[in-house]
Structures are given as structure tokens and as C-alpha cells.
Amino acid sequence: MGHTETPILGIHSSRLHNEFFSAVMKTYAIHKQCGILFQLLQQKYRSPELESQLEDPWLRDYKDNKFFLIDGLLYNKEKNTSALTVVDRDHISLILQECHDCPYMGHIGEWEQ
């Protein structure tokens, strides 16, 4: 299954430090489905044995080439956007706080043509 290049469609700034992103990467090893995806995306060749361990919706999205890695972080593509895959609730709360409660942060709505 080929992997395609994903263009950068936006730039963001945040107060989150490298330690946060390192902690997110560590959760991939703990979360079974993320760990399998991480291994699959790092390999040059398909691994049917690993793929068979994925469960839906992870398997379906993997087969649709919706997952990719950038700098060791797992992202999921949806339509014209992509999002960091985060599975730890504390990390999710921290990201929501960073995006919504910080006085100099914000995000634009989804633009549809």
C-alpha cells in the first residue's frame, strides 16, 4: 500500500513544548491500535500480519491511506484537513485549552467552496 506526500495546508503557533509531543508519542506504544499503526507506517513494505491486528475504524482508515507520520507524530487526514492523533484524555484537554483558552490563540472555521 503506497503512502502519499501530504502538503502543509496551514501553520500554527503554540505554547506546547517538545515534552508534550514526546509524551504524546509515548502513548502510541501504550495504545494498541496506535502502536500498530505507528509500526505499519514506519515500514517500507506491507505487513499483512500487522494489518490483521488493526480493528475498525483504525483498519478502514489505514486502508484508505488516512494516517501518516510527521516527526514521529501520528496524523489522520479527513477531507481537506489533518489532525494530530491523540489518545490520552489529559493530552486532549491540554490541546483544547491551548486552542481555545489562550488569549493569543484561535482557529478559523472550516471553509467550504
- The pLDDT tens digits for 70-104 are 888 888 888 777 777 777 888 888 777 776 766 65
Q: Give ∠ CA 42-36-46 in degrees, rounded to 5.
A: 55
Task: Name 98's Cβ contacts closer than 8 Å, sequence gap at least 6.
Answer: 14, 15, 16, 105
pLDDT for res 78: 83
pLDDT class for 22, splitting at 50, 70, 90? confident
Write down the mean pLDDT value for the chain.
79
d(CA 95, CA 105): 11
Per the model's pLDDT, the better-predicted residue between 113 and 74 turns out to be 74
Full-model pTM = 0.66
pLDDT for res 83: 79
